[in-house]
Amino acid sequence: MPKDPDPRIVTANDFFYRGLHLPSNTSNPYRAGLKVAGIPDLNGQGLTLARLDFRPNGFFPPHYHPRAAEILTVLEGSLEVGFVTSYPNYKHYPKVLNKGDVFVIPVGLVHYQRGVGRVNTVVLSALNSQNPGIVEVAAGIFGAKPVIDSNYLANAFRLNKGIVERLQSKRWS
């Protein structure tokens, strides 16, 4: 839809999405899934809305959104969430959330989510950007193309070069 649509052709459906009641696909190694609400006129409003689903022990790996803060609301189940502040403190703020709990992750900070408990967890996520971006930390470092020099990464992460090269050989996307 154009940024400034002709009001004579806009309908209620341009502001509508049906489908967040349906679970996202969790049949992957993370046992977690994401479904972004495709609302045509949300584009240009500076917002993203998504449903996150976690099977027991499902998780999203450490990642960050370079252009958005995120607010999570647990609809069902229990979720551990946490973020880490920037240098020099690197303070970790973990929290277990239950149904009805809300947690805010500041813009640009590394964070994670994982389902805790014995039942599936459903979370509503809102981000204050229509293009929040996502950088999965491990994939961004070890899955970069072309690869980042393995000697450098071994020194930077205090790892054996062989471990770095094994990580770089994994399929990250």
| 21 in a labelled binding site | no
141: CB partners within 8 A, 6+ apart: 148, 153
| 70 in a labelled binding site | yes
- Phi and psi at 105, nearest 5°, equal -115, 120
Q: Tell me: cis bond preceding 88? Omega within 30 of 0 counts.
A: yes
| 92 in a labelled binding site | no
| 65 in a labelled binding site | yes
Q: What is the DSSP letter of 145?
A: S
- Tokens linked to 50: 């998504």
Give the three-class secondary structure for 4.
Answer: coil
Give, for 124, the enclosing helix (H) or strand (E). Answer: strand 121-127
- Tokens linked to 3: 């940024």
- Tokens linked to 108: 């640009």
As a whole number of angstroms, the distance between CA 94 and CA 119 comes to 20
As a whole number of angstroms, the distance between CA 34 and CA 54 comes to 9
Which residues define the annotated binding site for Mn(2+)?
63, 65, 70, 111
Residue numbering of the annotated binding site for oxalate: 65, 70
Q: Which residues are annotated as a binding site?
A: 63, 65, 70, 111
